[in-house]
Structure formats: structure tokens, C-alpha cells
């Protein structure tokens, strides 16, 4: 099952490589420029602002990739989708919640010596399951307990 999933993912990348390249080159280049520019600035507030910009750019890249892979090349404009709307906000909100849960688990493991490995494994399984929400958000579908 795992092998089939990984091979399938790379087959999509191979078949959509040109569209994926065009849709992601601008936000990735902008991310690199921001990282380089902000690496020379020693201001803590600007560092946080840079992290916000990078999170938005990463969400845009992820949403473009998910849309191309799940809906095809014509689901995004030729050079990608760059507007910031409900989908991006929802995507970033889920990302922040998953990150906050990871940080909370990390801090809790400092106080629990015996159960650390068990907690990390359990959280890893839960995080993998929760990560399935990101492709659904990218294509504009909600995810819930009940499915059609």
C-alpha cells in the first residue's frame, strides 16, 4: 500500500512536471528571496513577519500542487493561483492547529520520561490522518465525519 502510494505520487509529478514547475516557480523563488533578505536583518518582529509571509507562500504552493494533481492542469492558471482567499485561510488555519498540537506534544514529552515514544508514535499516526484534510481543503471540499 505504501509503495503504491509513493510510486503513484511520483507518476503524477512526472506527468504534470511542466505545470507543477510553472505553478510553483514564482512562490518558491519569492520564498528564497525573502529567506535571503531576512537572514541579514536582526529584528525579531521582522523575523515573525517573514515567517508569516513564508507560511502564506507555502500554502499557495501546496494548494496549487494539490489542485493540479487532483483536478488536472486546467484547474489553476498557467503560472499558478496567487490570490489569498478562504481556501488559503482555511489551509493555514489547519496548518497552525496541527503545528500547535505538535509543539504541545513536544513540551509534554519533556515531563513524561516513560511514555515519550508511545506519545510520539500515537501523535504521528493522528497527524498523518489529520494531514488528509489538506488536499480536501485545496480543492474546496470540506472534510468531516460523514461522507456522501
Annotate 80-113 with b (16+ C-beta within 10 A) or e (fewer): bbeeeeebbebbbebbeebeeeeeebeeebeeee
Sign of dihedral through CA atoms 31, 14, 77, 55? negative
Q: Is the pTM of this model over 0.75?
A: no
For residue 113, give the H/E element and its range: none
| Domain extent listing, the chain | 1-84, 85-148
Average pLDDT over residues 116-141: 74
- Contact status, residue 58 vs residue 31, Cβ threshold 8 Å: yes
Q: What is the pLDDT of residues 24-66, one digit of tens each?
A: 899 999 999 998 988 888 888 888 898 889 988 988 998 888 8
Amino acid at each position: 500500500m505504501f509503495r503504491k502510494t509513493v510510486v503513484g505520487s511520483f507518476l503524477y509529478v512526472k506527468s504534470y512536471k511542466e505545470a507543477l514547475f510553472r505553478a510553483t516557480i514564482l512562490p518558491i523563488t519569492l520564498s528564497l528571496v525573502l529567506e535571503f533578505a531576512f537572514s541579514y536583518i536582526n529584528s525579531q518582529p521582522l523575523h515573525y513577519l517573514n515567517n508569516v509571509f513564508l507560511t502564506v507562500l507555502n500554502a499557495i504552493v501546496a494548494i496549487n500542487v494539490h489542485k493540479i494533481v487532483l483536478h488536472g492542469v486546467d484547474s489553476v492558471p498557467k503560472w499558478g493561483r496567487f490570490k489569498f482567499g478562504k481556501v488559503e485561510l482555511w489551509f493555514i488555519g489547519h496548518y497552525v492547529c496541527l503545528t500547535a498540537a505538535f509543539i504541545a506534544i513536544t513540551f509534554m514529552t519533556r515531563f513524561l520520561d516513560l511514555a515519550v515514544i508511545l506519545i510520539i508514535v500515537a501523535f504521528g499516526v493522528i497527524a498523518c490522518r489529520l494531514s488528509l484534510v489538506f488536499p480536501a481543503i485545496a480543492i474546496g471540499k470540506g472534510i468531516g465525519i460523514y461522507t456522501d
